[in-house]
Amino acid sequence: MATSLIRIAPGALTLGKPLPWDVFDDAGNVLLRQGCVIQTDTQLEQLFERGRFKPRKIEIPEKPQSAPDNRKHNPFAEYGDLLAHLEATLKAIANRDDTAFKRLLNLAKTLDSMCRQAPDASLALVHLYSISPTIQEQMLCYGILCHMIARAFGLEEKRAQVLTAAALTANLALVRVADQLNASNKLLTEDQRQVIRKHPQRSVEALKAAGIDNKLLHKIIAQHHEQADGSGYPDGLSGTDILPEAEILALSERYVAMITRRAYRKRLNITQARKLIATLADGHLRPAIPRSLLAVLGEYPPGMLVRLVNGEVGVVTRRAALARGPFVKAIFDPEGQRYLESMERDTSLLDFNVRAPEEPETMPSMDFSLLWGFRS
């Protein structure tokens, strides 16, 4: 195995952000598990010096999948693969590769299958990696949220699959500049504003140039920055002239932006973000769309850190069901000491009610697969 490991590139890891995959030493021994959080610059330098990771070979089927994907999905183990597949797909589109459409369809179907089979763990990815996500990570988050909102909204399945593909490609034209814009604390220049305003059309143009001609896909992307009051772009559409799919994508992007840290502002906690989403049902979007997102999230969505009334701190792993939950894996005792093993708590029980969201300066390290009951 050691021969298949490659060095971690500078910039691939970020302080305070969970590792996206396991890290190994030269001999193939695990140094750190996915979900471990790097706390200091010294630790980061040591990882770049000693750390290796195992790249995955992304297999693209000869034709788009037709049968349902019935594999057992572990969203945490697949996270790095999904990012690599997305990067390869975006590159294929940009290069007008004849595999581009096949890659996009299969990635969208894989993401939909994962969300359907492991919804709580998939939703947790959005919150666990929302500290300072790359543009590709944001796109995956949009895809997850779009799938879940679409199901709650009652969107027809074939249209929902196209929506997932739109979520993965709507910001194609921003890939080269998005991370730079998010890291800047300066006012946007006029040139940067124009890049942002034109990205829906330019993303559609890139898809067309790659031979991807799905009209619904193009329309969703073209409209995802339109506003119900006519103040959006590029065409100033309003009301029902805007597709519900475009509004679902717009809301997914808005939610991720709310809970993401930027150089020019602090991130909102999930409770604050939910309150803002509730206001969007008043004339900003079709009311059923923000309500669908609120239903998907629940009061305490998976991946959120909370403090319980007994003083324990844990991470929400499952949403409420049948008058029980949401369920939390407690990882710190009331004195702030780390448990050797996490303890599951049903927060519908009085002793384990949620007292408040927990917002530490740095997210604690966690073995995500273990907490969510997957085999690492």
What is the pLDDT at residue 179?
66
Which domains are present in the chain? Answer: 2-53 (no CATH), 75-297 (1.10.3210.10), 305-371 (no CATH)
By C-alpha distance, which of 307, 372, 292, 295 is closest to 120? 372
Q: What is the pLDDT of residues 121-166, one digit of tens each?
A: 999 999 999 888 899 999 999 999 999 999 999 999 999 999 999 9
Percentage of the chain beyond pLDDT 70 is 92
Q: How far apart are CA 313 and CA 335, in angstroms?
A: 10
pTM score: 0.92
Q: How far apart are CA 196 and CA 193, in angstroms?
A: 5
What is the pLDDT at residue 180?
72
Residue 43: which residues within 8 A CB-CB, separation 6 or more?
A: none
Answer for the pair 357, 351: CB distance below 8 angstroms, yes or no: no
What is the pLDDT at residue 57?
59
pLDDT lower than 70: segments of the chain:
1-3, 56-70, 179, 181-185, 263-265, 376
What is the pLDDT at residue 216?
98
| ω into 326 cis (within 30 of 0) | yes
Answer for the pair 96, 210: CB distance below 8 angstroms, yes or no: yes
